[in-house]
Chains A and B, each alone.
Chain A
């Protein structure tokens, strides 16, 4: 079994694959620059994680708050804001209050940030920052409980 972080990232990628705007262009933890054939797309990252221990068992129970970032990326000649908003809507509608089949206790959208730059066409990134809460036992990070 993989770490629950990876399970959550993969579950999120599966959930948002096939959305109307981004289609199959969903990439996990991608660092390489995006070319025209890769757009519009969704980038899935599992970022920082806050962890607090609960000493009610041995080993400890870990109460975890994972930042799941989903970035909608587009480059279009006009109405970039409309494209990004449409992609945001598609992601929000799909994830909703998903628990990824019980992997997470809650999945909450905490913030949306927007970046835009001028290239030969306007480029924009909308970042949806989700907080996924889940629990593991300290020595079993591959099993959500």
Chain B
């Protein structure tokens, strides 16, 4: 079984269209799974937004790459690739 192909199908099936703009590059639409679990930060309510993307869609993600998810603009502040699954989890920060 090709684990990478399997996880890619999952992303395609449950993911949503997001706009991805590599820093200094051109925007493209990709499938991504977005989550924003709630958490408290210094007694302030907040969330930890992140997306999972296919490495085939975003082979070289970098900090400050841009994403638009559900009309909210984010920048990448953390890159967590997983070679086995072919998925990269990107930590996000809202830009406004």
Interface of A toward B, CB cutoff 8 Å: 33-36, 39, 73, 75, 77, 115, 117-125
Contact = CB atoms under 8 A, between A and B. Distances in A.
Contacts of B41: 75, 117-119, 123
18 contacts: A33-B44, A34-B43, A34-B44, A39-B44, A75-B46, A77-B96, A115-B42, A117-B42, A118-B93, A119-B41, A119-B48, A120-B36, A120-B46, A120-B94, A123-B44, A123-B46, A124-B42, A125-B42
Q: 7 tightest CB-CB pairs across the interface, nearest first?
A: A119-B46, A117-B41, A123-B41, A119-B41, A34-B44, A120-B94, A123-B44
Nearest to B49: A120
Q: How large is the interface on B (under 10, 10 to 19, 20 to 34, 35 or more residues)?
A: 10 to 19
B46 A73 contact: no
B27 to A, nearest CB: 20
Interface string B32-51: 00001001111111111100
